[in-house]
A = this chain, B = another copy of it.
Amino acid sequence: MNQELYKKLLELSPDYKMNYLPSISVDCVVFGFHKASLKVLLTRLKGYEDWMLPGGYLQKDEDLEKSASRILEERTGAKDIFLTQFKSFGKVNRSEMAFDEWPDDLWHKQRFLSIAYYALIDFEQVTPSIDFYSNACEWKDIDELPGMIMDHREILDKALLQLRRDLNYKPVGLNLLPEKFTMPELQKLYEVILGKELNRGNFYRKMKRYDILTKLDETRKGGAHKAPDLYSFNLDTYKKALESGFQESW
């Protein structure tokens, strides 16, 4: 147990009791995509070897939906990230192993549910920074995750499952790809998120049906082969699809 951290949390406990709702914590799963690689933003508490999702608590006068981005910015420095709530985690003993050794006089030792949020951003746009409670904050490759405390690995896995499911009714790619991109580049984004290779013809037809792409009057020069067509997102149809979801299935 890190004594410096314990002293600080004990000192803060009355303030937390006064200004934060009991029983409720908020955790953030931030996926970062850049150049065909998928990562997740993790922090590490002082005195711990295992990593955790950036998280915090809900203020008594704060709407739940506003808490996640505030907490994420306080813990990691990542600003203006739009997070989507996907599930709450509430096993009775979910934090027991991780905080057993902490004294009971800490506000932070009570039973908390975790209300979990996820986001997918370009990880080059965020420079992780540590706060008082942590000694590390880093992007970790999704295929080489370190040990994680409590049920945070389960939360992360569920977030990835949800992100993949959401691809069935929400468009993805804006702010992750350059303004002009090729169909293979868009397909690569989907393949990295889904963790598997996709059939080129099926992918092309599916994207056409979604009607979110504008084919540009230019091609990418430079390769030995036929120059590939360039596309950009049609912001009108893309945003409409974000709001109402693809209805192509039915």
Q: Could you tell me which A residues sit within 8 Å of B by CB distance? A: 21-24, 58, 60-65, 67, 85, 87-92, 111, 113, 115, 165, 167-169, 190, 194, 196, 198, 206, 245, 249-250
Query: How many angstroms from the CA of A21 to the CA of B92 in the assembled complex?
Result: 11
B115 A88 Cβ-Cβ under 8 A? yes
A249 B23 Cβ-Cβ under 8 A? no
- Which of B22, B63, B190 makes the CB contact (< 8 A) with A23? B22
- Which of B63, B89, B169, B196 makes the CB contact (< 8 A) with A91? B63
With A24-B113, A88-B85 as contacts: A167 and B64 at CB distance below 8 Å: no
- What is the CB-to-nearest-CB distance from A107 to chain B, in angstroms, rounded to a whole number? 13
Query: How many angstroms from the CA of A63 to the CA of B96 in the assembled complex?
Result: 14
Query: How many angstroms from the CA of A22 to the CA of B167 in the assembled complex?
Result: 36
With A92-B61, A249-B168 as contacts: A21 and B87 at CB distance below 8 Å: no
In the assembled complex, 19 residue pairs joining A and B whose CB atoms fall closer than 8 Å, in A order, are: A21-B22, A21-B23, A22-B22, A22-B23, A24-B113, A58-B113, A61-B92, A63-B91, A63-B92, A64-B88, A64-B113, A65-B91, A88-B88, A165-B169, A165-B245, A167-B250, A194-B250, A206-B249, A249-B249
